[in-house]
């Protein structure tokens, strides 16, 4: 298996020294910077961050003899996160919370983070106090004892709905009713409270085992003029406003026709697929997560879209027997597409491909593999993660016309 670090953009030693030696403004100072590791570029002012990310895109695209479009900056560069995840830890009589340091299981305890949603942060700090007052037992991974492990708080910027998810090591959670009552009293703006049971000590915070403790079953958010229902485990873009801007820009470069069949691979809860539905004949969404497929189907009905169907299948399994498509949307995981995926994509013979990536390193690698049959007509980096080194990018590929 390839080392995961291969799939990460690297900050040069020169840039790292520049970041360390830059004095941030008092307003944007973080005492946890470089300890937490979550905001690798925080000390730089935003224009410097954009300049660095633009250079990364240019360097990567030079490798495939392309010139990227101007890097798309973000308007909201602080407090932008839709999903806010905190890990809990007991220390003497205190209950602490924070984030794991990069590539470590060492917890950096925090009370304030510049990129976390302010409403989520207030709830997180209240909840720590409630848990202490009620003498709740926080999970201890070294001994595999206790209950509460993580707190996940989802905030919709478009509807102001808030979903709180209490992640427990087991279904036993003494005093859950009292915790919910106290949390609702402290924060009546909360619209849902869930319990998520995840006994595993692996890298995933949430399982698919959820129990509604209070309020609405779903959180409602909006994107591209459509309404979406989300559950506790649903994937949704971390920076929704910036993601919507990226989706609209990407779709503006697609030649969508009323006779087209569009296939969305890794469709999630159906955001991109449904944004395209009014411009094509048929939309097919493929997703391996059954909960995501359920929500995608519900979201189609919610928006009165009748030409979209979603299927629970592994992408490679679907592509192996797919009949073809006019347009393919793909948003693979960080490691990008396998050679089997690319070969099957070529067999599907789409007229155009929209390739969205959270890792331009592997995206550029995959574009090389597609270069014999497809021409990249547009590639652009987008800042979905201000203050961090991460870059989102999208590319439009068109089928090459073969000469007789």
Q: Tell me how far CA of residue 206 lies from CA of 85, 152, 283, in angstroms.
A: 10, 9, 29
Distance CA 146, CA 132 (A): 14
How far is Cα of residue 352 from the mean position of the Cα atoms in its chain? Answer: 24
Distance CA 86, CA 102 (A): 14
How does strand 210-215 pair with strand 192-197?
Answer: antiparallel
User: pLDDT of 361-370, one tens digit each?
Assistant: 999 999 999 9
Q: Give, in words, the CATH class of 83-217.
A: mainly beta
β-sheet bridge partners, residue 394 = 356, 380
User: pLDDT of 46-62, one tens digit each?
Assistant: 999 999 999 999 999 99
User: pLDDT of 263-307, one tens digit each?
Assistant: 999 999 999 999 999 999 999 999 999 999 999 999 999 999 999
User: pLDDT of 240-266, one tens digit each?
Assistant: 999 999 999 999 999 999 999 999 999
Joined together, the tokens standing for residue 382 give 């987008």
Joined together, the tokens standing for residue 258 give 């009323």
Neighbours of 280 (CB within 10 A): 20
Residue 358 has pLDDT above 50, yes or no: yes
Q: Tell me how far CA of residue 359 lies from CA of 45, 51, 366, 393, in angstroms.
A: 23, 18, 11, 7
Residue ranges per domain, the chain? 69-74+224-399, 83-217
pLDDT confidence of residue 4: 44
Instruction: Tell which phi-psi region holds residue 359, choosing left (phi > 0), alpha (psi between -120 and 50) or beta.
Output: beta
For every residue of 53-103, DSSP letters joined together read HHHHHHHHHHTTT--PEEEE--S--SS--SEEEEEEEEETTEEEEEEEPTT
Of the pLDDT bands very low, low, confident and very high (cuts 50, 70, 90), residue 41 is very high
- The whole-model pTM stands at 0.93
Average pLDDT for residues 319-337, to the nearest whole number? Answer: 92
Average pLDDT for residues 371-380, to the nearest whole number? Answer: 96
β-sheet bridge partners, residue 107 = 100
Query: Helices 46-62 & 360-370, crossing angle to 10 degrees?
Result: 30
Residue 180 has pLDDT above 90, yes or no: yes
* Catalytic sites, residue numbers: 358
Query: Could you name the CATH architecture of 69-74+224-399?
Result: 3-Layer(aba) Sandwich (3.40)
Residue 2 has pLDDT above 70, yes or no: no
Half-sphere exposure of 252 (CA within 13 A, CB side): 9
Distance CA 402, CA 126 (A): 64
Average pLDDT for residues 312-323, to the nearest whole number? Answer: 90
How does strand 192-197 pair with strand 162-168?
Answer: parallel
Asked if residue 381 lies in contact with residue 72, where contact means CB atoms within 8 angstroms, the answer is yes
């Amino acid at each position: 298996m390839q080392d995961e670090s291969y799939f990460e953009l690297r900050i040069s030693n020169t840039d790292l020294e520049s970041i360390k030696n830059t004095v941030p403004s008092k307003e944007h100072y973080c005492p946890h910077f470089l300890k937490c590791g979550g905001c690798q570029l925080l000390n730089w002012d935003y224009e410097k961050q954009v300049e660095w990310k633009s250079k990364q895109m240019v360097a990567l695209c030079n490798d495939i003899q392309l010139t990227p479009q101007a890097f798309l900056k973000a308007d909201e560069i602080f407090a932008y996160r839709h999903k806010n995840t905190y890990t809990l830890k007991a220390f003497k009589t205190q209950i602490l919370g924070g984030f794991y340091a990069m590539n470590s299981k060492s917890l950096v305890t925090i009370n304030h983070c510049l990129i976390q949603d302010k409403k989520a942060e207030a709830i997180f700090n209240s909840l720590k106090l409630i848990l202490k007052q009620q003498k709740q037992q926080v999970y201890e991974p070294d001994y595999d004892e206790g209950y509460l492990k993580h707190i996940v708080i989802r905030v919709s910027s478009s509807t102001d709905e808030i979903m709180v998810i209490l992640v427990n090591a087991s279904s036993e959670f003494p005093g859950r009713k009292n915790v919910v009552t106290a949390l609702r009293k402290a924060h009546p703006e909360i619209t849902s409270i869930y319990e998520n049971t995840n006994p595993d000590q692996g890298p995933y915070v949430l399982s698919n085992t959820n129990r509604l403790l209070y309020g609405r079953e779903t959180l409602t958010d909006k994107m591209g003029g459509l309404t979406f229902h989300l559950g506790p485990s649903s994937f949704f873009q971390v920076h929704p406003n910036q993601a919507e801007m990226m989706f609209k820009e990407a779709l503006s470069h697609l030649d969508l026709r009323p006779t087209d069949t569009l296939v969305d691979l890794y469709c999630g809860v159906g955001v991109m697929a449904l944004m395209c539905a009014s411009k094509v004949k048929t939309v097919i969404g493929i997703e391996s997560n059954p909960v995501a497929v359920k929500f995608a189907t519900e979201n189609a009905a919610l928006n009165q879209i009748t030409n979209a169907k979603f299927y629970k299948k592994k992408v490679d399994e679907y592509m192996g027997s797919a009949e073809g498509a006019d347009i393919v949307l793909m948003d693979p995981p960080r490691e990008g597409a396998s050679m089997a995926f690319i070969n099957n994509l070529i067999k599907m013979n789409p007229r155009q491909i929209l390739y969205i990536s959270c890792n331009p390193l592997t995206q550029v690698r995959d574009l090389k593999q597609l270069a014999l049959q497809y021409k990249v007509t547009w590639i652009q980096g987008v800042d979905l993660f201000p203050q961090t080194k991460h870059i989102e990018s999208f590319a439009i590929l068109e089928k090459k016309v073969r000469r007789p």
